């Protein structure tokens, strides 16, 4: 029986598959990062707004 690609060469399909897996892992990582950022904003929006208002009022009072 004759087997193909027995020379030790890397097949182009394997390179493409490896690249696709790499891009998939990158996109999963980015999606996780973006989701965690949205969750942080959703859970702590009141604290973030009150801190920004406090800083804004301090800057306004020092500018006068």
Residue 42: CA atoms inside 13 Å, Cβ hemisphere, count? Answer: 6
Continuous segment of H or E residues that includes residue 44: helix 12-63
d(CA 39, CA 59): 29
Integer-rounded Cα Rg, in Å, for the chain is 26
> What is the reported pTM?
0.59
In the predicted structure, residue 53 carries a pLDDT above the cut 80: yes
What average pLDDT does this structure show over 16-35?
Answer: 97
Among 21-25, 42-46, 49-53, the minimum mean pLDDT is found in 42-46
> What percentage of the chain carries pLDDT values higher than 90?
58
pLDDT at 32 over 90: yes
Looking from the CA of 5 toward its CB, the CA atoms found within 13 Å total: 6
pLDDT in the model for residue 8: 65
Query: What residue segments make up the domains of the chain, in order of their start?
Result: 31-64
């Amino acid at each position: 029986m004759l087997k193909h690609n027995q020379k030790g060469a890397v097949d182009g399909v394997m390179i493409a598959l490896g690249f696709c897996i790499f891009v998939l892992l990158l996109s999963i990582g980015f999606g996780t990062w973006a989701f965690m950022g949205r969750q942080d904003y959703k859970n702590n929006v009141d604290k973030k707004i009150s801190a920004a208002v406090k800083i804004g009022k301090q800057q306004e009072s020092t500018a006068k």
